[in-house]
A and B are shown apart, each in its own frame.
Chain A
Amino acid sequence: MTDKLDKVPGPAATPPAGGLPPEAIRAIPVRHYGRWVSGIVVIGLVVALAFAFSQGNVRWQTIPDKLFDSSIISGMLSTVWISVCSMLLGLVLGVLFAVMRLSKNPVTSTIAWFYIWFFRGTPVYVQLLIWFNLALIFPLLNLGFYKDEMTQVMTPFLAALLGLGLNEGAYMAEIVRAGIQSVDEGQSEASHALGMTQTKTMRRIVLPQAMRVIVPPTGNEFINMLKTSSLVVAVQYADLLRAAQDIAATSFAVMEMFIVASIWYLALTSVFSVGQYYLERRYARGSLRSLPPTPLQKIKANLSRFSNRKAVA
Chain B
Amino acid sequence: MTTPMVKAEGVHKSYGAAHILKGIDLEVAPREVFCLVGPSGSGKSTFLRCINHLEQINAGRLSVDGRLVGYRQKGDKLYELKDSEVAAQRKDIGMVFQRFNLFPHMTAIENVMEAPVMVKRESKAVARARAVKLLDRVGLGDKGGNYPAQLSGGQQQRVAIARALAMEPKLMLFDEPTSALDPELVGDVLDVMRGLAEDGMTMIVVTHEMGFAREVGDNLVFMDGGVVVESGHPRDVLGNPQHDRTKAFLSKVL
Contact = CB atoms under 8 A, between A and B. Distances in A.
Interface stretch (B103-111, B185-193, B199-207): B103-111
B108 to A, nearest CB: 11
Interface string B83-95: 1100110110111
Interface in B137-165: 147-150, 160, 163-164
Nearest to A190: B101
Given A190-B103, A209-B104, A196 B115 contact: yes
A208 B90 contact: no
Interface in A159-214: 184, 186-187, 189-198, 200, 204-205, 208-209
Given A194-B119, A195-B90, A195-B167, A189 B101 contact: yes
A195 B103 contact: no
A289 interface: yes
Contact of A205 (B95, B103, B149): B103
B99 interface: yes
Contacts of A196: 87, 115, 118-119
Contacts, number: 75
Contacts of B160: 190
A215 B194 CA distance: 44
B103 A187 contact: yes
A286 B83 contact: no
Interface residues of A, number: 24
Given A197-B87, A286-B148, A187 B119 contact: no
Q: Which of A193, A200, A209, A286 has the most CB of B within 10 A?
A: A193
B218 interface: no
Contacts of B104: 209, 286-287
Interface in A279-300: 283, 285-289
Contacts of B164: 193-194
B176 interface: no
Interface of B: 52, 54, 83-84, 87-88, 90-91, 93-95, 97, 99, 101-107, 114-115, 118-119, 147-150, 160, 163-164, 167
Contacts of B93: 193
Nearest to A283: B105
A204 B119 CA distance: 11
Given A195-B90, A209-B104, 7 more contacts: A184-B101, A189-B97, A194-B164, A196-B118, A197-B84, A200-B118, A287-B104
Contacts of B106: 286
A187 B106 CA distance: 12
B87 A192 contact: yes
Nearest to A205: B103
B6 to A, nearest CB: 15
> Which 3 interchain pairs have the tightest Cβ spacing?
A195-B91, A190-B101, A194-B115
A13 B93 CA distance: 57
Nearest to B49: A189
